[in-house]
Chains A and B, each alone.
Chain A
Amino acid sequence: MIALALPAQDSGTFTPPGIEELHLPAIIPWGAAEGFSKQMLLVILSVVIIATFFVIAARKQQLVPGKLQFAGEAAYSFVRNGIAKDIIGGRDFMKYVPLLFSLFFFILVNNIYGAIPLIQLPTFSHVGGAYVMAAIVYVTWIAIGIKRNGLKYFKLATVPSGVPFYILPIVVPIEIISNFLVRPVTHSLRLFATMLAGHLIVMISGAGIEFLVMQENVLLKGASVLVLGGAIAMYMLEALIMVLQAYVFTLLTAIYIEGALHADSH
């Protein structure tokens, strides 16, 4: 086990890539360890990609859309109707469409980076970005809850109605922990961990193939084909998870906002 974590000295042993590989050397270094990293570049690139695509797609505003406009409208409608309208519903879902829309496509593009050759690095395999996204959502839904229900919101969110009073001492702490402490942590770590793990698996598969191909033994060389098959399958699974996690993150955001809006009926 130690050999897996520590770089092995002899070439006969397989040395899998570790978490260190996710921290590429800074493109423009400054300070001691920090610098302008690949992740930062990718984040900026993602904003450019999303903004350019949707502004161009939405700009024409034709009643009968062209291909690009249709694609943009389909993507926009997916978040607007598929997530915001379905989950939040009612009259006021439109207010939260911009947030959900931005969240979904920002996370989606930054995840999909991991499946694109040469870029091959999901931004949220670094936990910082995931913390920021979850924090934005956390602040947002609490603000919505307070704005809608006043300070009574915290009572509504933590004291479920219809529960016998003698169970309340148990239920209330659980509600506080699950809603206000665990929720943002799981929200961010779910995204981060899936991206990190997926990226690690793809990296390890790649390194494994390379290692086996370099072996003298023909059988071991041949075994690399099996690993390649597995690597492709893992790559596909990872691509699916990248899309799925963007959807899950956005869906959960919509659910949290809905919960804050209608705290009195929960």
Chain B
Amino acid sequence: MNQAIISAATEGGTNPLVPNPWEMLVVFAGFALLMFIVVKYVVPMFEKTFAERAEAIEGGIAKAEKAQAEASAALEEYKQQLTEARTEANRIREEARAEGAQILAELKEKAAAESARITAQAHTQIESERQAAVVSLRAEVGTLATTLASRIVGEALSDDARSARVVDRFLADLENQNAGVAK
């Protein structure tokens, strides 16, 4: 029975395992052509695209990393500058405070000196004025005393000669004294 099927199949010239050489040739030629196109165009183009894409992605990552590094460096720099600025400001403030204190001290000192000077000057002036007063008093006291004394004792003096001698002596003393002052 199987024999019959096989013979029926082969009698018709259609044994499925017997190839048609022309078809084999066409398949071979077609596949060779396809291989040529694939090797020459398709694979290189796809591989180039893949390589470019990989490079673009890696390049992008590198770029991002660089930007990140730059940003953190800038941040660091700013922080440092800020710290420096703060230190500077503190320093300036401290200096100003010290300078202010110094100025204050100087001014106090100056004021004290000035006041001392003024006091001394006043003392000197007072002293000189007192001296002048003493001198002028000494000049005037004689006259006044004489005047006063003459008024008090004037009556008696005109009477007797003894009083005339006392007045003479007093005047002589005054004259001596005035001469001493004039000297």
Name A's B-contacting residues (CB within 8 A).
Answer: 1-2, 4-6, 18-20, 22-23, 33-34, 37, 39-40, 43-44, 46-47, 50-51, 54-55, 58-59, 61-63, 65, 69, 72-73, 76, 80, 94, 97-99, 101-102, 105-106, 123, 126-129, 131-133, 136, 192, 196
Q: B16 at the A/B interface (Cβ < 8 Å)?
A: yes
Kindly list chain B residues whose C-beta atoms are within 8 Å of the C-beta of A106. 30-31, 34
Tell me if B147 is interfacial: C-beta within 8 Å of chain A. Answer: no
With beta carbons under 8 angstroms apart, the residue of A22, A61, A131 that contacts B48 is A61
Q: Quote the shortest CB–CB distance from A157 to chain B (angstroms).
A: 25
Contact status of A37 and B20, CB under 8 A, knowing A5-B4, A44-B26: yes
Partner of A131, one of B1, B8, B24, B37: B24
Distance in angstroms from B21 CB to nearest chain A CB is 7
CA–CA, A75 and B153, complex, Å: 159
With beta carbons under 8 angstroms apart, the residue of A34, A50, A123 that contacts B34 is: A50
Which of B49-57, B63-71, B92-100 interfaces with chain A? B49-57
Q: B12 and A54: CB pair below 8 A?
A: no
Q: Which residues of the partner chain B approach A65 to less than 8 Å between Cβ atoms?
A: 49
Q: Mark B104-146, 1 if CB is under 8 A from A, else 0.
A: 0000000000000000000000000000000000000000000
B21 partner residues in chain A, CB cutoff 8 A: 34, 128
**How long is the Cα–Cα vector from A4 to B2 in the complex, in angstroms?**
12
B: interface residue count bin: 35 or more
Indicate if the CB atoms of B49 and A2 lie closer than 8 Å: no
CB distance from A40 to the nearest CB of B (A): 4
- Which of B8, B35, B49 has most A Cβ within 10 Å? B49
A97 to B34, alpha carbons, bound, how many Å? 13
Contacts A43-B26, A106-B34, A126-B20 given; indicate if A5 touches B53 (C-beta within 8 A). no
CB distance from A130 to the nearest CB of B (A): 8
- List CB contacts (< 8 Å) of B1-49 with chain A: 1, 4-5, 8-9, 12-14, 16-24, 26-28, 30-31, 33-35, 37-39, 41-43, 45-49
A233 CA to B87 CA, complexed, in Å: 86
A-B contact pairs, 5 of them (CB 8 A): A2-B1, A5-B5, A19-B9, A23-B14, A106-B31
B46 touches A46 (CB 8 A): no
Task: Tell me the interface secondary structure of chain A in the complex.
Answer: helix
Asked if residues A58 and B42 are in contact (CB atoms below 8 Å), the reply is yes
Contacts of B16 in A (CB 8 A): 19, 22, 127, 192, 196
Whether A136 and B20, one on each chain, are in contact in the complex, defined by CB atoms closer than 8 angstroms, is no
Grouping DSSP codes into helix (H, G, I), strand (E, B) and loop, the B interface class, with mixed when no group exceeds half, is: helix
A193 and chain B: residue at smallest CB distance: B16
4 tightest Cβ-Cβ pairs between the two chains A and B: A128-B19, A58-B45, A129-B27, A128-B24
**Chain B min CB distance to A123 (Å):** 7
Specify which of B17, B31, B45, B47 is in contact with A132 (CB 8 Å cutoff): B31
Minimal Cβ-Cβ distance residue in B for A76: B46
Quote the shortest CB–CB distance from A237 to chain B (angstroms).
Answer: 21
